[in-house]
Amino acid sequence: MGQKVQTKAVWMKKVRNVVSYIDSKCRKLFIPGRDICIDESTVSFKGRIIFKCYNPQKPTKWGMRVFVLADCETGYVSAIVPYFCSPTTESLLRRDMPFLSRIVLHLCETLLQTTNGHGFHLFTDRFYTGYDLVMELLKIKIHLIGTVMANRRGLPVPVKQGHKLKMSKDNKVIVLGWKDKRLVFMLSTFQGSDCEKIQHTIKRGATEELDKPSVICDYASKMGAVDRADHYCASYAFTRKSLKWWRKMFFWLLKVAIVNSAVLFNLMKVESGQLPFCH
């Protein structure tokens, strides 16, 4: 067992320097706005490695998993953590918490150490969100909005029936059940249970006015930043087939650097009163 862990650590050394360099440069050159999100990207690879993952919900289903923190407004990638099995798990703090919660805390702490700020609004999907994670983020002054699984520890049973209710020791957390096409559970420490009017399309192009919770509207408009960055990265076709996984990881990091550079270039053009160019 010790030999396997040592072998994985050797694998990680192949890309550790370039990952650390690009990761630090991303935060040095740009500070994200108030709204940030955390999701995972997949580096395409079908070779034989122990940390290869399968995600049917992503356009790239087979490959290496990378956890990404991005700015919701621009899609700028601010922090990355590649997944290398046990070396990644052992490098994270708070071993008493689930792995994905530890990833979120690690990315947020990394961002706060660089920006020396607080007050971010974090958006996560149901695989990351949990009541214990929310309380830990509140300690470092970060609000969270995200979908959550109904079987998460700390959630009340009546939320499965789709009712709106408040729950927390300090009344800081809102748990919301909402059903349109299917039942969705939301957890928020910033938005309340307020609703807003939207136009909902029904049969044959007809529309009707519908009351929809503001927290769901906000989540739907902010959560796709990492997917947008992946879409931009996919537009570059200089990656070549290779049996070496670290080459695939290097080319993916190069794509991230190019996309971030394009975002910064557009921001500079907007500040100077010029029109931004199309990606």
Q: What is the pLDDT of residues 72-87, one digit of tens each?
A: 999 999 999 999 888 8
> For position 3, what pLDDT does the model report?
44
Tell me which residue of 174, 181, 106 sits closest to 145, measured CA to CA.
174
Question: Residues 253, 79: contact at Cβ < 8 Å?
Answer: no
> For position 190, what pLDDT does the model report?
83
pLDDT, tens digit, 9 for 90 and up, residues 116-173 = 777 899 999 999 999 899 999 999 999 999 999 888 877 776 665 555 555 554 568 8
* Rounded Cα–Cα distance for residues 157 and 39 (Å): 27
pLDDT at 245 over 60: yes
Tokens encoding 85: 């099995």
- The DSSP symbol for 41 reads E
Torsion of CA 59, 19, 233, 51, to 10 degrees: -10
Span 58-70, mean pLDDT? 90
Domains of the chain: 2-225 (3.90.350)
> For position 162, what pLDDT does the model report?
52
- Choice among 69-73, 117-121, 231-235 with the minimum mean pLDDT: 117-121
H-run or E-run covering 20: helix 2-29
pLDDT at 9 over 80: no
pLDDT at 107 over 90: yes
For residue 99, name the pLDDT band (cuts at 50, 70, 90): very high
